[in-house]
Amino acid sequence: MVVAADNMQVPVVDFSQLQNDSHSKSLVIKQIGEACGSFGVFHVINHGISETLIQQAMDVNSSFFGLPLRNKDRFISDDIYKPVRYSPNQGGNLGFSREFLKLYAHPFDVFVSSWPDNPPDYREKMGRLSMEMKKLGVEILEFIMESLNLEATYLKSNIEEGMHIVAINSYPPISTESEMKKIGVVPHTDHSIITILLQTSAGLQVMDQKTGKYESAFSEHKGSIQILVGEHLEVLSNGKYKAVRHQVEQMSRDETRLSVASFLSLGMDEVIEPAVELVDDEERPKRYKGSSLRDFLKHLASGESKPFIETIRI
């Protein structure tokens, strides 16, 4: 049985169950499979990433975003292929706004030297958190593969060696002045296989695939993590699991909202296709063309408003 979260129906998967017998592991796999097949999102609690580390990582991000623009502007770029990219809060009356930093995180040794070093412990704290989030993601992907009746290690080494992009988002509190514009992120699906997400306060809303309505996907459970099905898992599963459409709306008048999203993909040019085991010419023909992360980024850079997944559907 999938436990309902306190504030809505996004399923909650409790990883402390994994310390029990092997039956509990199959229960976790079943819960994850059901969650991916219905909501495309679930909360994970007792995942093993320490609250202290999460707090420390959020603190270095608050310090970074709190710096005067002159200390951050060297990271500003419109080039979406840049391994470190900062975007200041885009004001304006139309659309949504937030401040963000995007970091390539694998191979860590290659990229860390270009990450911010102000505050001085930024790289250490964010490096540790990024690696922990990826490790958790890789473990969850094993469960996801098993829930699809694939080998637990299906694509595991490709994902471990694949692209890992970490996005840190900062949403200012709503003020009378900003009420004219929305603060947050417009509806979208993520390009990743899965996204591992941490949020300091409510704001993430996911579309219920049955009703088309947006529901909150924040859990009051401290340190809980959200796992989102991305477009490349939709492809891999041949449509069994759908990428979850989501948006962010800042609701707080007093608090800056921070989130850390860890996107796991294959290598930049590695093509992902529906798993052959999940394709059946009669019952379930192949529903998506192969595509790579670079294909997605090209689509994004073209400014095309159509979701990428729609361009690769057969």
Q: Which residues bind ligand AKG (CB under 6 A)?
A: 167, 169, 185, 190, 197, 199, 203-204, 246, 248, 259, 261
Any residues with CB less than 8 A from the CB of 120 and at least 6 apart, and which?
A: none
Helix (H) or strand (E) holding 28: helix 22-38
Residues 189 and 171 sit within 8 Å (Cβ to Cβ): no
Q: What is the DSSP letter of 179?
A: G
What mask of x and - would describe binding to Fe ion in positions 267 to 286, judged by CB under 5 A?
Answer: --------------------
Q: State the first-to-last Cα distance of the chain, in angstroms, to the nearest integer.
A: 34
- To ligand AKG, the closest distance from the beta carbon of 73 in angstroms equals 21
Minimum distance from residue 196 beta carbon to Fe ion (Å): 11
- Which CB sits closer to ligand AKG, 25 or 188? 188
Q: Pick the closer one to ligand AKG by CB: 224 or 238.
A: 224
Residue with the closest Cβ to ligand AKG?
259
Smaller CB separation from ligand AKG, 28 or 194: 194
Using the minimum distance from each CB to ligand AKG, give the nearer residue, 159 or 204: 204
Residue 141 binds which entry of Fe ion, ligand AKG, none, CB below 5-8 Å type-dependent? none
Quote the least distance from Cβ 190 to ligand AKG, whole Å.
5
Contacts of 233 (CB under 8 A, 6+ apart): 36, 144, 192, 193, 194, 241, 243
Mutual angle of helices 51-66 and 122-147, in 10-degree steps: 130
**Residues of span 171-190 touching Fe ion by CB under 5 A:** 190
Interface with Fe ion (CB under 5 A), residue total 1
Residue with Cβ nearer Fe ion (146 or 215): 215
Nearer to Fe ion, 112 or 144 (CB): 144
- What is the CA 301 to chain-centroid distance, rounded? 20
Residues 189-208 that bind Fe ion (CB under 5 A): 190
Residue 167 binding partner per list ligand AKG, Fe ion, none, with a CB distance cut-off of 5 to 8 Å that depends on partner kind: ligand AKG
β-pairing, 41-45 vs 11-14, is: parallel
In the complex, what is the shortest distance from the CB of residue 301 to Fe ion, in angstroms, rounded to a whole number? 17
Q: In 233-286, at which residue ranges do the beta strands (DSSP E only) sit?
A: 246-249, 257-264
| Angstrom distance (rounded) from CA 109 to CA 168 | 20
Minimal distance, residue 309 CB to Fe ion, in Å: 13
Q: How far apart are alpha carbons 233 and 248 in whole angstroms? A: 22
> 3-class DSSP state for residue 30?
helix
Select from Fe ion, ligand AKG, none the partner in contact with residue 204, using the beta carbon and a kind-dependent cut-off of 5 to 8 Å. Answer: ligand AKG
Q: Is 249 one of the binding residues for Fe ion (CB under 5 A)?
A: no
